[in-house]
Amino acid sequence: MRSFTIVIFMIINSVGFAGAAVAQQVLDNETLRNADYREGKRAFQGRCSACHTIGDNGMNLTGPSLWGIFDRAAGTKPDFIYSAALQKADFKWTADTLLDYITDPQVFLPGNVMTIPEPVPEGMRTVLIAFVMQESGGADWPKPENAFADEQPDRSKPYSERFPSFWNHMMFNTTRYRMVSGDQELIFKAYFQEDGSITTNTEAEGFWHITEKDFMCYAIHKLKIKPSEFVECFPIAAMAVPRFAEELWKSNPADGVIMYGGIRPGRPEE
Ligand code: HEC
């Protein structure tokens, strides 16, 4: 039944209703309520979390935090700067508009700047949307009980076992920063070390730690630019999926300063 309705949706979409909210409801609550929460979480972590947090009070990353997204007009989170396409958009986020969007962001809303490496595969869309609804406060059904009963974080274990993907990603690759402050620019490479320190290819150095809420916070100082230090925190989930690019995220660690960060594979030979 599920794939049947998605097929209908694809046909409607391909004959030219893209860009406007599809009037017919494709994903009904019953389907969403029954969707596999864990699969949805996996899909979110693999496909969305590099750019979006989702919980209450989550911060904006490359994309806006998705908390409260359902039934809200598109492009209206006050502290996020959207592309013109999303600012001008005239629809609300519902399961169906989100389905259209993750099926192909550019077809649904030409000119928006969300780039996903590939459309979310068909079999993953329903679980993903149900998970986003649940975690962003948009579902009117309870969270599946014991969804993660066997996945309680065991805080006595080392980070390398609790967050293996994150650990390998950060500890064995190189983080590249480009810091732009007024008309000055500083590019440097940082190496997160297993002992909690950060070394760089310049005089700058720093340290990192993981908070109770599984955010990684770190500070780098002795930078030859103003301000000479900065502190940032990211959800580990956002770093758990290996992604390599010169500039993966952008942040604003101090007034008038823009920081671009990216991960490059490997480390130089010692
Ligand atoms: C590479 C980064 C990136 C990834 C991966 C990504 N997004 Fe986005 N997302 C963005 C950006 C940037 C925007 C704002 C786009 C704009 O302003 O045009 C956005 C916007 C959105 C919006 C609109 C928010 C609003 O307030 O109107 C939704 C909903 C959304 N993303 C959901 C998702 C989902 C679900 C996934 C996983 C399938 C995902 N995104 C993956 C970067 C990303």
In a domain, 153, yes or no: no
Whether residue 153 has a cis bond before it, omega within 30° of 0: no
The confidence score (pLDDT) of residue 123 equals 92
Task: Read off the CATH number of the domain in which 209 is found.
Answer: 2.40.128
Going from the Cα of 12 to the center of ligand 1, the distance in angstroms, rounded, reads 23
Mean pLDDT by 10 residues, the chain (270 residues): 42 40 69 91 85 82 92 95 96 96 94 87 94 93 69 76 81 93 95 96 96 90 94 81 79 90 82
What are phi and psi for residue 105, nearest 5 degrees?
Answer: -55, -40
* Residue 236 identity (one-letter amino acid): I
Number of domains in the chain: 2
In a domain, 148, yes or no: no
Residue closest via CA to ligand 1's atom 17 equals 82
Task: Kindly give the residue spans of alpha helices, DSSP state H, lying in the chain.
Answer: 2-12, 29-33, 37-47, 84-88, 95-103, 105-108, 122-135, 159-162, 164-171, 236-239
The confidence score (pLDDT) of residue 168 equals 80
The confidence score (pLDDT) of residue 198 equals 97
Q: Among 91, 110, 143, which residue terminates a domain? A: 143
Going from the Cα of 113 to the center of ligand 1, the distance in angstroms, rounded, reads 8
- Is 0.75 surpassed by the pTM of this model? no
Containing structural domain, residue 10: 2-143
Q: Is the CB of 62 under 6 A from ligand 1?
A: yes
Q: Are residues 118 and 237 in the same domain?
A: no
Q: Among 88, 115, 143, which residue terminates a domain? A: 143
The confidence score (pLDDT) of residue 153 equals 65
The confidence score (pLDDT) of residue 240 equals 67
